[in-house]
Amino acid sequence: MKNVPTRFLLAASTFLISVLMYVDRACIGAAKDDISSDFNLTNIQWAWVMAAFTLGYALFQTPSGKLADARGPRVIMAAIITAWSALTALTGAAWNTASMLVVRFLFGAAEAGGFPTLSKVTFNWYPIKERGIIQGINFSGSRLGGAIAYPIVVVLIAALGWKMTFVVFGLVGLLFAGAWWLVFRDKPEETRYVSEEEKRYIMENRQRAQTDRSQVAPLPFLRIISNPNMGLAMVQYVASNFTFYFTLTWMFPYLKEGLQGAGTLASFYAMAPLIGGAIGNWVSGFMVDGIYKSSGSLTLSRRIPAIVGFVLATAGMLLVTTTMDPVMRVIFLTIAIFGADMTLSPSWAFCIDIGKEHSGSVSGTMNMAGNLGAFSSILVFGYLADSLIQAGASPTEAIAGNTTFFVICGCLNAVAIGLWLLMNPNKSLVAEAAAQGGK
């Protein structure tokens, strides 16, 4: 470990934060039957329980990103992990549908700053040519966290009940928040754990930032969302999240119904698409950095991996509609999520490219749009399933046979391919703000 660069050890830490974030987020899906039974929830009510988290998560993205830009990732990340871990534990204290909706909304708001803050870490700590793989590592952690959550939660619920299971996950997070606060520093030049050689390498190869915050041009929220380049990034991220969020919410019950009640087997089947997503993040991260190193082109290094990813996501989601065999569904879902997750590294690298010192705010705004897409995804699946029940399908048939949802996902992904042909990572929002006086 002595000769391992400190920024690589930091990457392992941010990877674990991502794992923890999604373990806490995904465990609600594996607890569906127990919670629905206790609170007597319909599919529509359950959809709103899951969507409440995503709505809070979406609405607080930009404010959380601005906090990370202003206060630094050390204090903000420690606060974020503490807050979401406490609310994970409090999920187990919910006593009815209304209290569950409130806790889940606050939980989403607390987690909102996680990835925007990690973007600020990436901006401060990593050279441009390492940015793609670092984003890939961080997002692969989120997918692996979601994957391991399913079988772990099934076992813990059987042993402890769903309420105590959430308490256990919350306590783990509180310990991690303390460790982050004690060890991490906002910049490599502020810590004694980084050698002088590594500090020099990082500072010479990362994007240049203003050392005096007073000289950084302001970047108001309205300027961010009204920028055409940013608008394209936001819409394509809606497509990505609309597709992916199925795996954290409805996938477990979808596969369980397809397997006719085999919950333990469904938990392992549900791991496959998320593991595929983790691999997609790594593949895309290497592609982003490899294309940039070989061509020197920000545009190609962001555009090519994203377009390949959306092509696979489109194909995978449309193929799901062609079969009722659970194994084939898992295979096609894995292709789709592998592709959808290939779009994450270039998307977040794009936000850092155009956001620079405001990378937390800009990436948070894109993630806000994406999670409004996720919010819609959860409700669309629930309402489509309910419409099938109203048409005479059984609850099992309504969930397992909800093919319209996958057609919608495929169409959104196809649109995103075209959007990436128009996106330009060389158009800096910061430069535009400076040129126009930040008005």
In a domain, 213, yes or no: no
Round to whole Å and give the CA distance between 88 and 166. Answer: 6
CA separation (Å) from 265 to 250, 279, 337, 372, 421?
16, 22, 20, 31, 41
Round to whole Å and give the CA distance between 29 and 61. Answer: 22
The sign of the torsion formed by the CA atoms of 8, 107, 47, 153 equals positive
pLDDT in tens, 50-107: 889 889 888 887 787 778 778 888 889 999 999 989 998 998 888 888 999 999 999 9
CATH number at residue 236: 1.20.1250.20
The sign of the torsion formed by the CA atoms of 275, 281, 282, 283 equals positive
Could you tell me which of 408, 376, 420 has the C-alpha nearest to residue 50? 376
Is residue 212 scored above 50 in pLDDT? no
In a domain, 424, yes or no: yes
Could you tell me which of 138, 141, 168 has the C-alpha nearest to residue 152? 168
Round to whole Å and give the CA distance between 20 and 358. Answer: 26
pLDDT of residue 439: 47
How confident is the model over 185-189, as a mean pLDDT?
A: 85
In a domain, 211, yes or no: no
Round to whole Å and give the CA distance between 228 and 240. Answer: 19
In a domain, 212, yes or no: no
In a domain, 389, yes or no: yes
In a domain, 363, yes or no: yes
Burial class (CB in 10 A: 0-12, 13-18, 19+), 157: buried
pLDDT in tens, 354-399: 888 787 788 888 988 998 888 899 899 889 988 888 888 877 777 7
pLDDT of residue 348: 87
pLDDT in tens, 260-275: 655 567 778 888 898 9
If one counts every other C-beta atom within 10 angstroms of the C-beta of residue 268, the result is 15
- The segment with the largest mean pLDDT, out of 10-24, 336-350, 370-384, is 336-350
Amino acid at 324: M
Please, which pLDDT band fits residue 10 given cuts at 50, 70 and 90? Answer: confident
* 402, 302 contact by CB (below 8 A): no
DSSP letter for 357, please: G
In a domain, 158, yes or no: yes
User: Structural domain of residue 120, as residue ranges?
Assistant: 6-206+218-435
How confident is the model over 398-415, as a mean pLDDT?
A: 90
Please tell me which residue, 335 or 45, carries the higher pLDDT value: 335
Whether the model pTM is above 0.85: no
* Domains held by the chain: number: 1
Please, which pLDDT band fits residue 401 given cuts at 50, 70 and 90? Answer: confident
Round to whole Å and give the CA distance between 85 and 91. Answer: 10
In a domain, 1, yes or no: no
